[in-house]
Structure 1
Amino acid sequence: VGPTVAARLRSLGIHTVGDLLFYFPREHRDYSKLLTIAELPFDEVVTTRGLIWEVKTSRTSSGRTRTVATLSDSTGRLSAVWFNQPYLQKQLSEARGEWLVVTGVKQRFGNKVTFTVRSHELPEKGELLNTGILVPVYSLTEGLPARTMRRLTRWVVDRYAALVPDHLPPTIRQAAGLLPLPEAIAQMHYPANEEMLAAARRRLAFDELFLIQLGMQERRTRWQRELPSGQAFKVDLARIFIEPTPAEREAVQAAATPEAEAQGVQGFRSQAAAGTTLWTSLADQRPFEATLPFRFTAAQRRVLCEILGDLSRSRPMCRLLQGDVGSGKTAVAAAALFVAALNGYQGAIMAPTEILAEQHARSIGTMLAPFGIRTVLLTGGLRPKERALGRAAIESGEAAVVIGTHALIQEDVTFQRLGLVIIDEQHRFGVEQREALRQKGYHPHMLVMTATPIPRTLALTLYGDLDLSVIDQLPPGRQKVITRWRTGARREEAYRLVEQQLAEGRQAFIICPLVDESESLSARAVTAEYERLSREVFPHRRLGLLHGGMKPAEKDAVMRRFRDHELDILVATSVVEVGIDVPNATVMVIEDADRFGLSQLHQFRGRVGRGAHQSYCYVLSADAGPQARERLAIFQEIDDGFKLAEHDLRLRGPGDFIGVRQSGMPELRIADFNDTRLIEEARTLAIRLWESDPYLQRPEHAPLREHLSRFWQAFIPH
């Protein structure tokens, strides 16, 4: 290509023949089904072919040029029309008597029938690229026509696709039933038919998912196997559950490695680790569950056994704990921290906000207090003296449990014996931040938690380096939050319900998407809405304002006032999305709800319904588009967070759903997160290959090892 076209290709990220080979079409238009002229229907995009007889170009009354070619086949004649392409007069006239393939729409204008051409090709001039086939449609840039792009891709596919080395071992290709890579590349650009296009897409999608899963296996190996072993905790289920079942004992015992069993895990003996006196000198000798105001659900017991089985191994735990809003993840985390403390180790929870950290410190501190286990809160908003006292307690080991924000990973925070790291709302943290907290201990066990339900397919891909536990059961007696979707014009209905609930002594949230008013966005701003509500709607009520632009101390003060019922209504932004626990709040009103995804709406709704009273959620939207209306209708009907997450993934895609960049994972170009079967197949084969050849050291795996390194190079944290 010349310098001008080269520059335009570079703007698309195409610098080499290889780049162009892997610059795949965003779609294909099926112009492959050739109809005879007599078969052509009206008002549909179709493809036909005919011999060129006559070509005329004229000018319309509006000044446009109009080129008409008369085509015929054995079934009839057709007038094919092009607008504003006068150069076709010469080109088509020179091709009289030759076949012309055209794609377009047959239309009737009065007594005349014409065929408005969208693309055409002379088969005798060479291979069909623009019609008569499954035509590739590429993302383009200004000055780079679609025909030029197809000519270039056809050229490189014909000459270079066959030279691309296939990095997948033959055994993997055969096990998954995949095309060879050169054939998949060629068919992805210019497929012979729909079946070959599907096969090519499947091969290329498998490659992406397989490489991601291999990268996850490398992460897991570096974390669990390459590094020296961590600490196997001694686990006595009788100290956790009121009545541990034989099956639970067997499940935890079976999870322990031989090394851990040799250290005394087998039989669940309750003596302390060497030098640890906490195990036998607790202030309260009852089981952990006996001090709680509730009993663990079956789902909580199941995931606790999975976690305790991990803790009983010397290989550090890497587990993701998912649970819907209100499913009881905090109590499970507290039980894991309890076991760490019994073994003489410290545990730490890192939360994304000060409000959530303070709430965890209060609730977990209350759960552990009967046993004399000290919990310390460490956040950036503490006074210097409080922070210094907290750091000293952490360094001396006096603080067995530490709960905080990013403040935990500051250089001046030193743990005496950190054995368990828990990351809450883990998608709010980058890979580097999670790693920084882990580095505070000597290969500690790690549990990451989220209240944002993640579809299984996405969890297997984003967190393939973690084992997955799911609390899929809510505590008994938890009432369903009544959800109503209303247009903005019916806002008064929501306000009447708020007033009614306040009169009964309850409290309410009102959520707005913006902090300040915007000229470009019509969405309601929380500051202006707070003023309006205080002045015009609820002048006799106590309102509070909360948004992310406030100082941490200000936010904490407002939340404390709302928690202590010094405020009736909290007008806030999405800062209340996670971790706000006010059982007396029974109404959630969400303004401009079409601006939020389903999972985020579900998090807002989870802020109410946490007490004994019936709760309500109003989602208001004045200007929802078709997709937003579908989303809000789904939200009104479904209260299962995992089902909503599946819908959210389908409607919005993975990037918006979870923040792919934040997870440290490459973005996918071909693969679809909704393809459950292919994801699980790629994961199974990746695990099998990695276990048989960790780090792909065998000579026959060298091409795959090099390809994996290039694929992940920009994403693996070092």
Structure 2
Amino acid sequence: MISKSSYWVCLDKALSIEVERGFINTQGEQYQFSEYLCLNFGELPPIKTSNNQRQRWLKFASQYAIYPKLTLSQRRQLIVQTRQFLHNLKQDFKIPVKHPHPKQPKTSNLIDIKSILRYELNLEQHLSTVKEISFRKIGLLQKIGLDTVRDLLFYYPRDYINYARQVTISNIKEGETVTIVGRVKKCNFFTSSKNKKLSILELVLQDHTGEIRLNRFFSGNRFTNKGWQEKQKKNYIRSTIIAVSGLVKQNRYGLTLDNPEMEILDNFNTSIESLNIARILPVYSLTEGIDNSFFRKIIIINLKSAQTILDPLPISLKSKYDLMDLKDALINIHFPKSLDFLERARRRLIFDDFFYLQLGFLKRRQERKRLQNINSFTPNKYLTHQFNKVLPFQLTKSQKRVINEIIKDLESLQSMNRLLQGDVGSGKTIVAIFAILTVVESGYQVALMAPTEVLAEQHYKKIILYFNQLCLSAELLTGSTKKSKRHEIYRQLITGELPLLVGTHALIQEQIKFKKLGLVVIDEQHKFGVEQRNKLLNKGKYPHVLSMTATPIPRTLALTLHGDLDISQIDELPPERKAIETKVLIGSQKQRAYDLIKKEVSQGRQAYIVFPMIEESEKLDIKAAIEEHKKLSEEIFPIFNIGLLHGRINPLEKNKVLNDFRENRYQIMVSTTVIEVGVDIPNATVMLIENAERFGLSQLHQLRGRVGRSSFKSYCFLITSSKTPNILQKLGVLEQSQDGFFISEMDLKLRGPGTILGTRQSGLPDFALASLTDNKEILELSKLIAERIILSDVKLNSFPLLKGELEYRSIRL
């Protein structure tokens, strides 16, 4: 029976080997790395754990089952998460992982304080002025975005190799990274008989516990010179004391260190000077022509300037929340004194990533609230009471709560800037109408802007249905609006007789002038650029803003993307909304979906068949949709009328096709993702999505939301040709859940923030260390501290260093 301590050593060893070898899914004697981890995590942990820890443990089994399919960065991220989890587990349960005779090697201090006085460096100094960096290397460093000393210091390692543990020769174990100090017993230097360009330094090293055979390899003609080899041998004469660091592996002679780093010592008490021995060694993502050895050297040279950095964060806050000083964090993120120092350094630098983002958001929000005071609305609430009466359903508790939050904002002396999140079909439009009526009743006008004509028309039709019953007028303005109608709308806006204008980008035209714009409602706001939104806001005097999204965003991503907004969340669906039965099918099972479509359509229902649209291959995707439309019409469903929608169809034709579908002139609609939002056809009960693996989870959930809009049972089929476990696991999330917030959280974990909602175009910074899924606690802490600082001094005049750093980061972003 393997002991608990040995169990953890074996897992640590496997992870260390995989990191050392570059995440290649290392082949062991019996298993590949992924198989070994999958088997270990497939069984219950050998200690008592909580339910959450057990579930996380077993989840790793499924993640390592798909390890061969993961990208290099995904493999790296999974191993980091695994190590962190195992570390926390050991801490929680105080697992005694005993290493024989653990010893910290005696290493020299990398940052010599005395040398700082002689070495003049500053953060903004260009790397071309650093004499150790050649002109050719400058170009290579610029390829990875490094121009200044600051860039270099804030370019963090992607991983670490731990050589900081010194062991005796008899106690080395395969797979560990260790340092050994011993005496040379034998030395030989020769050129390989099989490869004339390969030279080998062969040493036998011994200490009081045993001996080990080591080989150091040199590739290149210049190392084959006999005279040079003899000179090297003289450095390693018998009884010379050396320190060696490397990965322990097995060869035909027994255990050895794989091509180890070496340093000759004067005696056993001599400090080790090498950057590559007896330390926690940083590993960087570099480019061809820049190796880690060179990069470590220039990091050390420039780290001396870190000692001169003035930490912007107040000492009291660092002390209260146990945040490492910035200069210490920079030094220990590159060359940590220990694993504990490394973890503390990571925490501080992750905090900074989040903190300055939150500080900027909150500063902007507070300044806007102070500068943009307007008269509060004081409606008699007659219209909202009447609207409540004509509604054919009861509001949910969540809708009522959000309506109260919005009306409270509208009645205050500060401009509202609120994001309304809600799942598909949660009733966001109804909530928006309450806000619109509150503003209209106070004598102001409202603009509602949507990204597409389909969505704008959908809003207009829903709103005008209620406005007619309340004896109020509203108009729709899109690119398809006739010229005569446009001029009439312009006139009514200027006179103030038109209380509500719904439209697309057409609302930001210069001709549009409101008499008294009080509220701007922006639907799917992330699909508009900052300038487009500002053009509409500038048509009024600090109007209130209500942004809406039908794609729920996880709280961590919302704080990061929309930290300058107040957020309201409709977190329940109306009781009449039924769950949509969702099923993942591989291509050969597609006939099951076709049979159900035939059955539903025969009963008077309708169906969507959706194809992916990838921007880079739009023409190919449209061609595929057109060809599939022909095949479906002629071979699969010849007795039904089938419509076709894609992005190249002009707006007038698109509206005609949708209206024909709404009137059931088409029983089946073949479409690209143009129907993702805004299409509301209650009679549609089946959604079939081809090549579902090409979509994100949130987008699939949006498409699924086009059905299930009536009392009829609805279905969604996700068709994929892939049988890879990670694809099936991802799509399986849709089978398990109808909760958009849960689905978006899973989307964030699976894809990262950069590909959700187009966040690369939404000003989301590229965090160097921080992860929105793994560092939620630090994000919350950064927001808390940023709020306290801004509430005490919104202009940051009392915090000049913070103010300067924030301005610098804002310019860079």
TM-score of the aligned structures, taking structure 2 as reference length: 0.78
CA contact (8 A) 1:354 1:379 kept: yes
Query: 1:200: which partner in 2?
Result: 345
Query: 1:99: which partner in 2?
Result: 242
Query: 2:356: which partner in 1?
Result: 211
**How far 1:126 sits from its partner (Å)?**
5.2
Q: In percent, how many aligned pairs have the same letter? A: 40
Q: Secondary structure at the match of 1:696?
A: coil
**How far 1:541 sits from its partner (Å)?**
1.5
2:667 pairs with 1:667: no
**How far 1:713 sits from its partner (Å)?**
2.1
CA contact (8 A) 1:35 1:48 kept: yes
Query: 2:605: which partner in 1?
Result: 506
Q: How many residues align?
A: 663
Counterpart Cα distance in 2 of 1:458 and 1:139: 26
**1:650 is aligned with what amino acid?**
K
Counterpart Cα distance in 1 of 2:659 and 2:693: 30
Of the three residues 770, 774, 782, the one matched with 1:682 is: 782
Query: 1:231: which partner in 2?
Result: 375
Q: Secondary structure at the match of 2:392?
A: coil
CA contact (8 A) 1:355 1:580 kept: yes
Of the three residues 200, 210, 217, the one matched with 1:76 is: 210
Question: Alpha-carbon deviations, 1:346-367, whole Å to 9, x = none?
Answer: 1111111110000000001112
Counterpart Cα distance in 2 of 1:215 and 1:638: 36
**How far 1:423 sits from its partner (Å)?**
0.9
CA contact (8 A) 2:170 2:210 kept: yes
Query: 1:704: which partner in 2?
Result: 802
Cα–Cα, structure 1 residues 224 and 519, in superposed 2: closer, same or farther, change >3 Å? closer
2:293 pairs with 1:147: yes
Q: Which ranges in structure 2 are unaligned for 5 or more consecutive residues?
A: 1-132, 266-270
CA contact (8 A) 1:517 1:524 kept: no
Which structure 1 residue ranges, 4+ long, deviate > 6 Å from structure 2? 519-524
For 1:537-616, what aligned pairs fall within 5 Å after superposition? 537-616=636-715
For 1:259-278, what aligned pairs fall within 5 Å after superposition? none
**2:384 is aligned with what amino acid?**
I
2:188 pairs with 1:55: yes
Of the three residues 141, 154, 173, the one matched with 1:41 is: 173
**How far 1:168 sits from its partner (Å)?**
1.4
Of the three residues 107, 114, 134, the one matched with 2:280 is: 134
**1:56 is aligned with what amino acid?**
F
**How far 1:495 sits from its partner (Å)?**
1.3
CA contact (8 A) 2:629 2:644 kept: yes
**How far 1:172 sits from its partner (Å)?**
2.8
Cα–Cα, structure 1 residues 57 and 658, in superposed 2: closer, same or farther, change >3 Å? farther
Question: Alpha-carbon deviations, 1:326-365, whole Å to 9, x = none?
Answer: 1000000011111111111111111111100000000011
Question: Alpha-carbon deviations, 1:231-262, whole Å to 9, x = none?
Answer: 31114456535xxxxxxxxxxxxxxxxxxxxx
**How far 1:135 sits from its partner (Å)?**
1.6
Counterpart Cα distance in 2 of 1:540 and 1:91: 89
**1:686 is aligned with what amino acid?**
A
Counterpart Cα distance in 1 of 2:797 and 2:616: 58
Which stretch of structure 1 is more off in the superposition, 644-653 or 27-36? Answer: 27-36
Cα–Cα, structure 1 residues 172 and 553, in superposed 2: closer, same or farther, change >3 Å? farther
For 1:522-533, what aligned pairs fall within 5 Å after superposition? 525-533=624-632
**How far 1:574 sits from its partner (Å)?**
1.6
Counterpart Cα distance in 2 of 1:113 and 1:375: 85
Query: 2:261: which partner in 1?
Result: 120
Counterpart Cα distance in 2 of 1:524 and 1:74: 75
Counterpart Cα distance in 1 of 2:612 and 2:294: 45
CA contact (8 A) 1:515 1:527 kept: no
Which stretch of structure 1 is more off in the superposition, 661-670 or 611-620? Answer: 661-670
**2:292 is aligned with what amino acid?**
A
Cα–Cα, structure 1 residues 500 and 22, in superposed 2: closer, same or farther, change >3 Å? same
CA contact (8 A) 1:515 1:525 kept: no
**How far 1:294 sits from its partner (Å)?**
0.9
Q: Secondary structure at the match of 1:77?
A: strand
**How far 1:519 sits from its partner (Å)?**
12
**How far 1:382 sits from its partner (Å)?**
1.9
CA contact (8 A) 1:60 1:66 kept: no
For 1:324-473, what aligned pairs fall within 5 Å after superposition? 324-473=423-572
Counterpart Cα distance in 1 of 2:247 and 2:295: 21
CA contact (8 A) 1:514 1:525 kept: no
**How far 1:658 sits from its partner (Å)?**
2.9
Which stretch of structure 1 is more off in the superposition, 542-551 or 321-330? Answer: 542-551
CA contact (8 A) 2:161 2:177 kept: no
**How far 1:314 sits from its partner (Å)?**
2.0
Counterpart Cα distance in 2 of 1:397 and 1:519: 43
**1:681 is aligned with what amino acid?**
L
For 1:3-42, what aligned pairs fall within 5 Å after superposition? 3-42=135-174
Counterpart Cα distance in 2 of 1:502 and 1:119: 71
**2:157 is aligned with what amino acid?**
P
Query: 2:335: which partner in 1?
Result: 190
CA contact (8 A) 1:55 1:70 kept: no
Question: Alpha-carbon deviations, 1:405-426, whole Å to 9, x = none?
Answer: 1111111111111101111111
Of the three residues 85, 96, 121, the one matched with 2:219 is: 85
Counterpart Cα distance in 1 of 2:598 and 2:301: 70
Counterpart Cα distance in 1 of 2:379 and 2:443: 12
**How far 1:104 sits from its partner (Å)?**
2.5
Cα–Cα, structure 1 residues 55 and 493, in superposed 2: closer, same or farther, change >3 Å? farther
Query: 1:713: which partner in 2?
Result: 811
CA contact (8 A) 1:649 1:657 kept: yes
Counterpart Cα distance in 2 of 1:57 and 1:638: 65
2:759 pairs with 1:629: no
Q: Secondary structure at the match of 2:756?
A: helix
Q: Secondary structure at the match of 2:244?
A: strand
**2:478 is aligned with what amino acid?**
T
Cα–Cα, structure 1 residues 653 and 184, in superposed 2: closer, same or farther, change >3 Å? same
Cα–Cα, structure 1 residues 69 and 311, in superposed 2: closer, same or farther, change >3 Å? same
Counterpart Cα distance in 2 of 1:183 and 1:101: 28
Cα–Cα, structure 1 residues 610 and 35, in superposed 2: closer, same or farther, change >3 Å? farther
CA contact (8 A) 2:215 2:259 kept: no
Of the three residues 561, 570, 589, the one matched with 1:490 is: 589
**How far 1:545 sits from its partner (Å)?**
1.4
**1:704 is aligned with what amino acid?**
L
**2:471 is aligned with what amino acid?**
G
**1:380 is aligned with what amino acid?**
G
**How far 1:625 sits from its partner (Å)?**
4.3
**1:47 is aligned with what amino acid?**
V
Cα–Cα, structure 1 residues 496 and 63, in superposed 2: closer, same or farther, change >3 Å? farther
CA contact (8 A) 1:349 1:403 kept: yes
2:277 pairs with 1:179: no
Cα–Cα, structure 1 residues 643 and 517, in superposed 2: closer, same or farther, change >3 Å? closer
**1:113 is aligned with what amino acid?**
G
**How far 1:515 sits from its partner (Å)?**
7.3
CA contact (8 A) 1:431 1:664 kept: no
**1:476 is aligned with what amino acid?**
P
Counterpart Cα distance in 2 of 1:659 and 1:91: 61
CA contact (8 A) 2:217 2:259 kept: no
Counterpart Cα distance in 1 of 2:538 and 2:249: 69
Question: Alpha-carbon deviations, 1:256-286, whole Å to 9, x = none?
Answer: xxxxxxxxxxxxxxxxxxxxxxxxxxxxxxx
**How far 1:114 sits from its partner (Å)?**
5.7
Counterpart Cα distance in 2 of 1:167 and 1:356: 47
Q: Secondary structure at the match of 1:474?
A: coil
Cα–Cα, structure 1 residues 516 and 682, in superposed 2: closer, same or farther, change >3 Å? closer
Q: Secondary structure at the match of 2:360?
A: helix
Query: 2:756: which partner in 1?
Result: 657
2:745 pairs with 1:646: yes
**2:580 is aligned with what amino acid?**
V
Which stretch of structure 1 is more off in the superposition, 65-74 or 512-521? Answer: 512-521
